[in-house]
Amino acid sequence: MKISLKSSLLASALVIASTPAFAQEENTDLPPEATEFYEPVPPKIEAGESTTTPPSDAKILFDGSDLSAFVNERDGTEPTWNIEGDILTVNPGTGGIKTKENFCDMQLHLEWRSPSEITGDGQGRGNSGVLIMEKYEVQILDSYENETYTNGQAASIYKQSPPLVNATKAPGEWNTYDIIFTAPRFNDNGMLLSPAKITVLHNGIVVQNNYKLRGPTEYIGIPNYTEHPEKLPIHLQDHGNPVSFRNIWVRELN
């Protein structure tokens, strides 16, 4: 019986999706496509209009003034992303940026927009990402009328969980992420006690509901937990597209 490539990939994705959260499997020699799936497609909805002012206990990471809270991910030097007004834009090819300070459990707020001039498609269109603890990626992508694998579209937990709905605004319009994150816990022997959990609101709409991550983000292969420090930086990704950011703040949840 002849099996189509799409059916085969979907079957692989379903097997991966059923992997228990505490499994400690090794990555296999899989192509990237083996962990991408296209169905079901999250329904498209229209988000409401809202803005969020930082609360009094928030740590301001970027308010338009400077990038003093960040360093270049590659060598720890001062970032060379572009600031114009209160807007920060990726300088493609210079590398991502990460916070000087490390964080554990948190509430993270950020606003982002894809370029108003559309170039590329799929994963090549308005691509960036926010990596909690430098390991757990909430995808940033222009997912407005832009087909790609659904666990790689905007507000997905990259290569793990597609959003419940697609709330992405049109290119050039601002999107808001509010992320509530609980870090994984390990025992003294490095064994996983509890997985990381994440809730994501995209433009005020719940799109990830206390999702239990199966491990750190992997582009190829199956995610697996390995012990890491209790606190690590927040990382904004340079994926080669001039994605813009503003109003970035974090609250530590102790």
Element (H, E) at 13: helix 5-17
Among 2-16, 43-57, 109-123, name the most confident range. 109-123
Q: Mean pLDDT over residues 208-235, rounded? A: 97
For the residues 83-95, what does the mean pLDDT come to? 97
Q: What pLDDT was estimated at residue 5?
A: 45
Give the predicted TM-score (pTM) of the model: 0.83
**DSSP code for 128:** E
Lowest average pLDDT, out of 23-27, 34-38, 92-96, goes to 23-27
Q: Is 164 a residue whose pLDDT tops 60?
A: yes
pLDDT exceeds 70 at position 6: no
d(CA 156, CA 161): 6
Rounded mean pLDDT of the chain? 90
What's the confidence (pLDDT) of residue 30? 85
Q: Which of 42, 34, 3, 32 is nearest to 17 (CA)?
A: 34
**Top-confidence residue, 43 or 224:** 224
**pLDDT classification of 51: cutoffs 50, 70, 90:** low
Mean pLDDT to the nearest integer, 153-175 = 98
First vs last C-alpha separation in the chain: 56
Q: Which domains does the chain show, CATH number per domain? A: 5-252 (2.60.120.560)
Pairing outcome for strands 70-72 and 97-99: antiparallel
